Structure 1
Amino acid sequence: MTVGSLDPQALRQRLAGPGLQIDLGPMVTRVRSTLPEFAALFPLLYGDWPLAPADTFTDFTCELRPTLSLRHAPHRRVLCLIDGQPAFAPQGRGMCGLLFEWALNWSLANHGLGHLMFHAAVVAHGDDALILPAPSGSGKSTLAAALVATGRWRLLSDEFAVLGVEDGLLHPLPRPVSLKNDMPRAIAALAPDARFAPTVPTAHKGPITLMRPPAASVAARARPARPRWLVTPHYTPEGDTLLHPQSRGHAMMGILEQCFEWGRRGRRDFDLVADLVEAVTPHTLAHADLGRAVAVLDGLASSSATAAEAAA
């Protein structure tokens, strides 16, 4: 049974009562909310995700509920709680979808759940993964969404590279993609069937729109990919689209700067990143045109496949 298979009334009752347990792969989260806005938004973004059995261990519970405020009209604000504790300052009710995503990000970044995790978007061409490590504002999410929109790549993750400690593979966590400003329009031009939540204005990051992950990517959520390419993107509005080789030393430093809970496993964490960098072909990509950037990365995957066939 999936989130989208529940009729609206059953969905509202479950969210307002015992909650919904969602199997996200690296973790299982229980979601509760009495907000009608969230009950309408949640199946739009998570409709393809499976519900976990009722007796499944829950890693954490996220609850979104209205809160009173002395400065604002009653019940116009929403409070996000993680395991019963407030996670963020109360926000407007239109922010409920973003608050839920931030709660998942916070929990993953702080707990890791047995994986090495770093800030990156990850997509896969077949079973070969392309890692796009970069800080917020670099355009990695938009680039990942554009690659997925072509249908030739599947989404592994928008925010986190989830590196298996035991197998060295990248594990999927295909949650909604966060797009800023007018980027949803560019993605919609590439994928007319893409579905988006209403755009939410934010004080620090501008307008943000969440894109529903493709159903095919969610269906492949148990299919990890091997590290193959690492491309550090830089959006340059006035420049050309240029792909340059990157030294492995610079690539490794870039990953280390984006790691969460770095060193929790001691030397093992360093070795994991070193092995990852040895397994990939690192590049930097400066781009101003999304279509050209997609074509360059498609070409990178195609040339790698041709080289592999020639070697065989």
Structure 2
Amino acid sequence: MIAKLTRIRDLSLSLLAERFSTASVELDYGAATVRVRSDLRAFVCDFQRVYGAFVLPEPVPFADFHTQMCSGKGLRAFLRPQSRFLIDGMQPFDPFPREQALPHFEWGVNWSFAQRFNQHVLLHAGALALGGQAVIMAAPPGSGKSTLTAAMMLRGFRLLSDEFGVLCPRTGRLWPMLKPLALKNRSIDVIRDYAEEAILGPVYKGTRKGDVAHLAPTDDSIDARRLPAHPRLVVFPSFREGAPLTTRRLPAEDAFARLAFNSFNYGILGETSFNAVADVIDSCPAFALEYSRFDEAVESLRAMLAELTAAREAA
């Protein structure tokens, strides 16, 4: 039997592959559990690199999502080997090249969350915490949000999620949806040079989103994946080469529009989403942040969060 607290990196590749082949790999992301099955050996190898710190428990009777990574069908499976992502036995989108099976899995799971996880408000935002106090970071693609999120995690912030700010409408707290961070193009080398301890998976060249590599979450973030955090600060970051660090307080109505209408299920949840996001904006100051130096931006956000936390405790 495998010990209950065994980490994925501690298993031999052959034993991990056996677990995958019998659909007995459950990933506890915090807010949701995903069961994975696969017979793709290269996928298992890449997976172990970026999910190495995740705990692999004994098989559990329930999972929120049941997924499978499998080979392509027919003649093309031999001429141009492919991977297919299945959710509950259904294939929601076209196959990928087999060598891109890991990013295929990551995008498939993200799609599944966005489509089917509607008990919470899903903000399209990164979320990190110090203690139990969280920063929500929302920005459009190309703004440097994922790179700044990675830098913050590597400088001591607890990662909740890079992609999904999982906001509980009942309690107003943010739950972790802890997955590897997808870095694209130039960000890959930036983070590799930023921290020697960063664990990066393979670089997948020429995917549908350019060159992609995945950054493994830190052990501390994974071990705290069942701990929610209270939103305390909303930030809309933007990277600009050579720019000095600037912060600008945003009016509440502007911050609400930016955050609410960039969520995955705002329209589906309607009034529930409106009230949950309005509560966040009502209780958290929101800032536009422009930066070019990562450590400067990280320390500025750390100081802002500490100041807000101290003010709240003193009130």
Give the TM-score normalised by structure 1: 0.92
2:139 maps to which residue? 134
**Residues 1:297 and 2:305 aligned together:** no
Q: Relative to structure 2, which stretch is displaced further, 51-60 or 11-20? A: 51-60
User: What is the correspondence of 1:7-18 to structure 2 with a 5 Å cutoff?
Assistant: 7-18=12-23
Q: Measure the CA separation in 1 of the matches of 2:205 and 2:133.
A: 36
3-state SS in 2 of match to 1:285? strand
2:290 maps to which residue? 286
* Change over 3 Å in CA distance of 1:227–1:183 after alignment to 2: same
Partners of 1:119 and 1:135 within 8 A in 2: no
Structure 1 residue 268, shift from structure 2 partner: 2.3
Q: Measure the CA separation in 2 of the matches of 1:203 and 1:51.
A: 29
3-state SS in 1 of match to 2:193? helix
**Residues 1:32 and 2:3 aligned together:** no
**Residues 1:218 and 2:216 aligned together:** no
Partners of 1:66 and 1:75 within 8 A in 2: no
Partners of 2:234 and 2:286 within 8 A in 1: yes
3-state SS in 2 of match to 1:284? strand
1:101 maps to which residue? 106
* Change over 3 Å in CA distance of 1:104–1:203 after alignment to 2: closer
Q: Relative to structure 2, which stretch is displaced further, 7-16 or 276-285? A: 7-16
1:199 maps to which residue? 203
1:154 maps to which residue? 158
> Which structure 1 segments of 5+ residues have no match?
none
2:260 maps to which residue? 256
* Change over 3 Å in CA distance of 1:166–1:281 after alignment to 2: same
Partners of 1:243 and 1:296 within 8 A in 2: no
Partners of 2:32 and 2:177 within 8 A in 1: no
User: What is the correspondence of 1:235-274 to structure 2 with a 5 Å cutoff?
Assistant: 235-274=239-278
Partners of 2:71 and 2:77 within 8 A in 1: no
1:3 maps to which residue? 8
3-state SS in 2 of match to 1:65? strand
1:122 maps to which residue? 127
Q: Of 54, 63, 86, which aligns to 1:58?
A: 63
Aligned residue-pair number: 310
1:175 maps to which residue? 179
User: What is the correspondence of 1:75-114 to structure 2 with a 5 Å cutoff?
Assistant: 76-114=81-119
Partners of 2:80 and 2:97 within 8 A in 1: no
Structure 1 residue 43, shift from structure 2 partner: 1.7
Residue identity matched to 2:136: I
Q: Relative to structure 2, which stretch is displaced further, 141-150 or 180-189? A: 180-189
Summarize deviations over 1:44-87 as a string: whole Å, max 9, x none. 12222233543421222211112146568536211111111112
Give the TM-score normalised by structure 2: 0.91
Summarize deviations over 1:233-258 as a string: whole Å, max 9, x none. 12222532211111111110011121
CA RMSD for the aligned pairs?
2.0
Residue identity matched to 1:274: A
Residue identity matched to 2:205: P
Q: Of 37, 51, 56, which aligns to 1:46?
A: 51
3-state SS in 2 of match to 1:86? coil
Structure 1 residue 263, shift from structure 2 partner: 4.0
Partners of 1:20 and 1:30 within 8 A in 2: yes
Q: Measure the CA separation in 1 of the matches of 2:193 and 2:307.
A: 26
Q: Measure the CA separation in 2 of the matches of 1:55 and 1:19.
A: 8
* Change over 3 Å in CA distance of 1:113–1:55 after alignment to 2: farther
Residue identity matched to 1:166: R
Residue identity matched to 2:264: F
* Change over 3 Å in CA distance of 1:42–1:247 after alignment to 2: same
Residue identity matched to 1:125: L
Q: Measure the CA separation in 2 of the matches of 1:4 and 1:203.
A: 26
Q: Measure the CA separation in 1 of the matches of 2:309 and 2:213.
A: 34
3-state SS in 2 of match to 1:143? helix
Structure 1 residue 189, shift from structure 2 partner: 3.3
Q: Measure the CA separation in 2 of the matches of 1:121 and 1:41.
A: 24
Q: Measure the CA separation in 2 of the matches of 1:77 and 1:195.
A: 26
3-state SS in 2 of match to 1:56? coil
Residue identity matched to 1:297: L
The percent identity for this pair of structures is 33
